[in-house]
Structure 1
Amino acid sequence: MLANRRNTRSTWADPDDAPGLTEEFFEKADLYQGDKLVKRGRPKLDNPKVAVSLRLPSEVLARWKATGAGWQTRMAESLKHHAPKT
């Protein structure tokens, strides 16, 4: 059973010997303007996709999956193409 344990001991001997702050540290740090946190990452979309739960016949789903990677995107494009015009 001891062979399954991971070594969790720290190699850091002196807690007063903190690592230096690098440019990478500051690039990943949160950015504030006044008291407000500036959000990072991808900007919010005007028309984001919506997650849904949908029951499909297993053979239909199997045929879409058999088309390979990106089948969800192709299915969405097909639905968009066949959607009624409003």
Structure 2
Amino acid sequence: MTENKPAIAAVSLDPADDAPEWTDEMFDVAEFSISGKVIRPATGYLGPNGVVRGRPPQRDVAKRQVTLRLDPDVIERFRADGPGWQGRMNAALRKAAGL
């Protein structure tokens, strides 16, 4: 025979509780659409420090993906400083190579 389980109380979660307050600059770059039809496309995106306009600059020479084995403590040291750790690691390698 099956056992009746107690009902779980419904919890109302408002996704706007954790959402940041919108600024005028955010509204200026946001896409505007009505019923799924885009009236004005987005002109930027929200980056870690606010609104960033356009694409990042293109490089003359594209970076190449490689497979590289590194000691775990080296990787963790670069990751400990947060986002951008791969760029910082690249800069350290360039400095070590004398570039």
TM category (shorter chain) comes to: 0.3 to 0.5
Q: Which has the larger radius of gyration?
A: 1
Q: Which has the higher strand share?
A: 2
TM-score after normalising by structure 2: 0.40
Report 1 or 2 for greater relative contact order, CA contacts < 8 Å, sequence distance ≥ 6: 2
**TM-score, length-scaled by structure 1:** 0.45
